[in-house]
Chains A and B, each alone.
Chain A
């Protein structure tokens, strides 16, 4: 393809075929803004990565310059030097894994257990439960953290991950509302046919409905895990002895000047802790785009 034809295709895509002036102007303005914004979003990442590859001396010489040599030495040191209390990098990474991936398995299981009957059956109390989900999403109850700490402490769940995981099994949230919409949209014909063939209600759910809802479940799972991966509050408030990478970074930022590798190594730790959500986003972007939508609140 010649340069000219590439330009023509781009122009056609940007301006469209018809003469819609407002669209042309808006698209051109936004295209320019988008390019500027891309620099705003990407440059800090690039800058952090670039400085993580410098030696401490090189970093303090100039934080703007590119690294003279790409030195991955500090990345190796992160595994031994990036520590919070007794937890090293790998311990924090494992904590991040179960806090993010584990919590969302329980959360989505609870959301599905709640959303499925609400979407597919008529039973006394159905509207009330749906109302509770909407109430919880829309009505703000502020400042429950003090009572939350008191309750978690009273139940001996502080720094006790297994019992603490019960708090994730709630489901009255946006995931339940999204699943509700998705389950409602799945045709009832297949499940009715399965039921007529002698399948139990649970079998119908597991073998007919759930496989059809997998795209939605995967989209929610990826989106929620991404949100959870770098969440520090749970580790900071309730699971202080199980720091995840996010909490580790929060604590470590005040110590960077006192450890070997200093700031460049800290930047390396930031980059490493961002890998999992970036990979998840790359893998799940399309699934999330196609399967996440909320209809309305009326049920």
Chain B
């Protein structure tokens, strides 16, 4: 066996065999086409291997290493400490998980309205063009601009507090002095509200594109059957855009721990607003701030490994079941 492998000709013999096999199976035309395809994909594949594949494999190794590169389970012990008490930055992981899930669950309820809303806009409610343009404002402006605007809006000198005072609604001195996001009693509900509200009626291009692909004849059949608007939406439109919805729903479960890092910009995780998404970004920023010291990589990587291990089976099972709900459609 060792002789076989030590023989320098072994590899060239195997390559020769492979070449003969390919020549027999595929003609010249096919082989040229393959060459073209491989040339096209080679650069993205190399970049992917370096910046995604290697990076994520290294992340797993880092989770089990200390600052000197020795094997350790200390990073996972730190996670346990962060669950039952606090980490070195003063965050409790369990509280952050609850905050993430709360946000996630509220957003999922909103999605039902968002889908119906996108459908209604697609069905051309009067002013649909203006509405969908305006509803895209938070997405168009991007995280930072919309966040800074809303942050000022609910600040101590912002209009919301002034209106509240004008209406004679009593708020605590803490809120009066610091604004809604910086007072412990109001930070979480305010953050949830200003993050969730834009999502409810946000117009979805991808979903609308999928609705637009449904032929008019499908709706005509429904009309002849005498079905109402909601039944048309549920029994005709939803099944026909199901492949797009599957991607959306899988996207939800994929981002169950990472979706909400809005706390980073709004409150920097203070007053009980920290979530897992915030925490992961906060840890990444800490690495940058501290110049990438060797001992800083293990803990965030261990967290990543843990949350990935929890999320992957959830996503796989979800996808499996979703694909069984409606057969894949083409129209």
* Interface members, chain B 236-273 (any A CB < 8 Å): 243-244, 246-247, 250-251, 253-258, 265
Q: Quick check: A170 and B328 within 8 Å, CB to CB?
A: no
Q: Quick check: A114 and B117 within 8 Å, CB to CB?
A: no
Stretch among A42-50, A74-82, A84-92, A186-194 lining the B interface: A42-50
Chain A contacts for B229, CB-based, 8 A: 20, 22-23, 26
Chain A contacts for B33, CB-based, 8 A: 121, 123, 201
- A147 in complex: contacting residue of B38, B205, B301, CB < 8 Å: B301
Q: Quick check: B140 and A278 within 8 Å, CB to CB?
A: yes
- Given contacts A30-B117, A139-B254, is CB(A151)–CB(B55) below 8 Å? yes
- A140 in complex: contacting residue of B43, B50, B51, B255, CB < 8 Å: B255
Interface size on B, residues (CB 8 A): 105
CB distance from A20 to the nearest CB of B (A): 6
- A151 in complex: contacting residue of B58, B223, B311, CB < 8 Å: B58
Q: Quick check: A142 and B308 within 8 Å, CB to CB?
A: yes
Residue A2 interfacial (CB < 8 Å) = no
Chain A contacts for B255, CB-based, 8 A: 140
* Interface members, chain B 106-159 (any A CB < 8 Å): 117, 120, 124-127, 130-131, 133-145, 148-153, 157-159
Chain B residue at minimal CB-CB distance from A167: B51
Q: Quick check: A139 and B120 within 8 Å, CB to CB?
A: no
Q: Quick check: A201 and B36 within 8 Å, CB to CB?
A: yes
- Given contacts A147-B62, A232-B143, A249-B148, is CB(A138)–CB(B250) below 8 Å? yes
Stretch among B9-17, B91-99, B167-175, B280-288 lining the A interface: B280-288
Residue B197 interfacial (CB < 8 Å) = yes
Q: Quick check: B197 and A63 within 8 Å, CB to CB?
A: no
Q: Quick check: B58 and A113 within 8 Å, CB to CB?
A: no
Chain A interfacial positions (CB closer than 8 Å to B): 10, 13-14, 18, 20-23, 26-27, 30-31, 33-34, 37-38, 40-42, 44-45, 47-48, 60, 63-64, 110-111, 113-114, 116-118, 121, 123-124, 126, 129, 132, 136-151, 153, 166-167, 169-172, 201-202, 223, 226-227, 229-233, 236-238, 240, 246, 249-250, 253, 263, 267, 270, 273-274, 277-278, 280-281, 285, 288-298
Question: Which 3 pairs from chain A and chain B are nearest by CB?
Answer: A143-B304, A230-B142, A296-B243
Q: Give 21 A-B contacts (CB < 8 Å), ordered by A residue.
A: A14-B126, A18-B223, A23-B228, A26-B230, A31-B126, A37-B201, A45-B149, A47-B153, A140-B256, A142-B280, A146-B287, A150-B58, A150-B297, A151-B51, A172-B52, A201-B36, A236-B285, A270-B145, A274-B142, A278-B140, A297-B250
